[in-house]
Amino acid sequence: MTLTDDGPVLVHGPVEIETADGRRIRSDRPVTAVCTCRRTRRPPFCDTSHRTRVREGERT
């Protein structure tokens, strides 16, 4: 697992993720990007929304 400063958590190898509602989602990709910013439109996976979308309360 690799933690990034401004993006997702990168999980190496096949992974099974259990969501807050109890669903289990499996990814067989060599590296899976798990969203930590909650801006993604495809939770729990990162869709790079953290690069372009501004969180509520961060607008200037």
Let me know: does 10 contact 30? Beta carbons within 8 Å.
no
Position 37 scores a pLDDT of 87
Report the run of H or E that residue 17 belongs to, with start and end. strand 15-18
Domain boundaries, the chain: 2-51
pLDDT the model gives residue 51:
79
Place of tokens 């401004």: 6
> In the chain, what is the straight-line distance between the N-terminal and C-terminal CA atoms, in Å?
34
- For residues 46 and 8, is the Cβ–Cβ distance under 8 A? yes
pLDDT averages per 10-residue partition of the chain, 60 residues: 88 94 95 91 89 60
Is the four-CA dihedral 6, 38, 58, 51 of positive or negative sign?
positive
> What is the pLDDT at residue 53?
56
